[in-house]
Structure 1
């Protein structure tokens, strides 16, 4: 019996994937576990393997087509078999047969002019169909922007936004329309990875009220603490690379444990605060950015945190990161210190409430209590937060707690 190849969900926020490359053509034989095609989504390239051995009977998308999670990409079966998904339950696009009632000729002509497809199959996702029915929209008049001209949720939202009457709309209605973003058109012409980044960034800015606070921390004691630990590591023949980023990550984890409001997700109209801390580490690539995740960072020592940070970032840069490694974060850190940048405004990795930006350390002269001038090293920190969820005072409190751990580093091991 034939079996469908479906678009997998590789990350928590993934809703669709782009076909990057087909390795097989219709009629080619395949072995179970063999790579059939490559997809790209959520800034990740991933090979899709054959679920069974057989013949590739059909393809339901070509290179650069976008299919929603769960949609059928192709079907594998035996030679001569009719392609079928069998009893496999997949949340895929459904085809709706639209017919025009035989009323008067004028009505038929108007309907035909409105949409040439009225007697053809119209592809629409289940969610979009439900939204259209609820809003009493004529799907025959809606242009689909998904794969195979599929009507998606974004298309329904676009139509609903355009139905607003500017003359009668309130000021907030007009503002909402002006700020709305049709994510289906964002990133057109870019590579799959850049397109995913573009959509994520535009979506983040469109869904949240982002504000960034900045503050510096004295890292003189942190550097001394790092040297002490490095000396102990060397004498114990441990293979641990103890960077300042690791120590700041540890300080961030402790600060999040003290202020759980910052360790939260706002998604589907629900706010969830977490005891568990899954730390996203923004990692630059040659052609983009990935955010691998250190799961249960609150349970890790500085040494284990250092090992896992090195491991996840190397996997990301080597193209070995899978969907599980790139999903599930509750808070993210991004570091531009190596680029010489001091302050910047990180964009939220939605649906997270906060993201910490770390800049390049700088030497500064300060006046001591004895009226003497002293040189100290400070590091700039930038916290971007969703003002819908927390206020500036809460974000400022988080930075205060974080700085206290950085400036009193022995607390990191107590």
Structure 2
């Protein structure tokens, strides 16, 4: 039998959850064939067979958590698909079970015989002890009467009298000591009862029907990382609003020619990515991270794009966004979003980002405070576009398409002044996109 183990996945991944077995017990597999899909913290990966043969045994089922090096299945290299290996194993197990039953029967009989032989001895011992205690104990008649009333053995009472005679007060003191011992014994039982009542109340706290759903490994990781980000950083959010009139006009004028030339649509994300890169160059602490007592300012601009999938939020990275034109950014975003939805993201697609942009506006969000994508110290949140009244320079009021934007940042290394100026710089570039195109 050849054991199939969970292979080394990546430096940062040591465990996963079996999402789906792609083969069944008894199936013929070839070396290198994908036999199961493993869900990890970041991406789903396929595990391949290490040898050719028949899948003789599956040791881990779908939904089981496994670690690197765990044996998950066995392959019979000499077996044939649909062979009699299962029947042989079953017959062997039956023989072992019958043998075990016979041995257990013999052992039980021996134990019963030995227990019958020893039943009379304890009775004899207790009777002799009672005689000794009654004859040897020195006590006053009142003490003996009191002991009978309280059900206390006189031989277990220590006398305070110098002559060793037990008096009624000695009996009362012994009775109080016994009651305290009983209370101590009953206390743990009461606590256990309380705990069991609490547990039962927790399980039955819902009087109406509910459904309990186990969190996927990815959802657990997302929850853990979000909590860690809030606990390990001094997170603060600042806001501004952007007049989207000029961007929308430019996009409307150029979208057809842009799509014909580059085979990709011109969206808003490329404008904000370009604006973010320009602002990051002016405020390098927002494109940084903290390592111990040092600030690591990154001289590259790998921008993470938050993408929502059925299994949760993932943040694939568009590499070297400062070197890409608008078409390059749009293609990068489109490719990453497709890979995320098709579950084709690789670990390299998710690692190494320096700053993140999340667009809640596509779901209709008007305002939010995005949570940092640790160890990054800044994340830009975009929201939906709505027409709102705006006072123009000539004091007229016009209905303009407005968007709220938010910057969450780590206040440990980013001051409020930097954060506000960063967001205002993005606002200026978006409201004057022609300069942004020239600089890009």
Q: Shorter chain as normaliser: what TM range? A: 0.5 to 0.7
Contact 2:262–2:327, Cα closer than 8 Å, also in 1: no
2:49 maps to 50
Q: What are the superposed Cα offsets for residues 90-115 of structure 1, whole Å, 9 maximum, x if unpaired?
A: xxxxxxxxxxxxxxxxxxxxxxxxxx
TM-score normalised by length of structure 1: 0.65
Q: What are the superposed Cα offsets for residues 143-195 of structure 1, whole Å, 9 maximum, x if unpaired?
A: xxxxxxxxxxxxxxxxxxxxxxxxxxxxxxxxxxxxxxxxxxxx993133322
Structure 1 residue 266: Cα displacement: 3.4
Structure 1 residue 284: Cα displacement: 1.3
Contact 2:34–2:49, Cα closer than 8 Å, also in 1: yes
1:243 maps to 267
1:373 maps to 397
Q: 3-state SS of the aligned residue for 1:325?
A: helix
Structure 1 residue 254: Cα displacement: 2.0
Structure 1 residue 77: Cα displacement: 7.5
Find out whether 1:403 has 2:438 as its counterpart.
no
Structure 1 Cα separation of the partners of residues 213 and 256 of structure 2: 51
1:384 maps to 408
Structure 2 Cα separation of the partners of residues 376 and 199 of structure 1: 40
1:217 maps to 242
The structure with the largest helix share of the pair is 2
Question: How many pairs does the alignment contain?
Answer: 305
2:191 maps to none
Q: 3-state SS of the aligned residue for 2:263?
A: coil
Q: What are the superposed Cα offsets for residues 203-246 of structure 1, whole Å, 9 maximum, x if unpaired?
A: 22232222111111122122222233325425x54312001122
Q: What are the superposed Cα offsets for residues 127-152 of structure 1, whole Å, 9 maximum, x if unpaired?
A: xxxxxxxxxxxxxxxxxxxxxxxxxx
Q: What are the superposed Cα offsets for residues 349-403 of structure 1, whole Å, 9 maximum, x if unpaired?
A: 1111111110011222222332322222221111111223322222222212211
Q: 3-state SS of the aligned residue for 2:420?
A: helix
Is 274-283 or 219-228 further displaced after alignment?
219-228
Q: 3-state SS of the aligned residue for 1:389?
A: coil
Structure 2 Cα separation of the partners of residues 271 and 73 of structure 1: 43
Contact 1:43–1:289, Cα closer than 8 Å, also in 2: no
2:280 maps to 256
Within a 5 Å distance, the mapping from 1:310-389 to structure 2 comes to 310-389=334-413
Contact 1:6–1:73, Cα closer than 8 Å, also in 2: no
Indicate the structure (1 or 2) with the bigger Cα radius of gyration: 2
* Structure 2 unaligned residues grouped into runs of 5+: 79-211
* Structure 1 unaligned residues grouped into runs of 5+: 81-186
Contact 2:42–2:347, Cα closer than 8 Å, also in 1: no
Structure 2 Cα separation of the partners of residues 25 and 285 of structure 1: 29
Structure 1 residue 13: Cα displacement: 5.6
CA-based RMSD: 3.1
Structure 1 Cα separation of the partners of residues 294 and 41 of structure 2: 22
1:19 maps to 18
Within a 5 Å distance, the mapping from 1:276-287 to structure 2 comes to 276-287=300-311
Structure 1 Cα separation of the partners of residues 293 and 14 of structure 2: 17
1:293 maps to 317
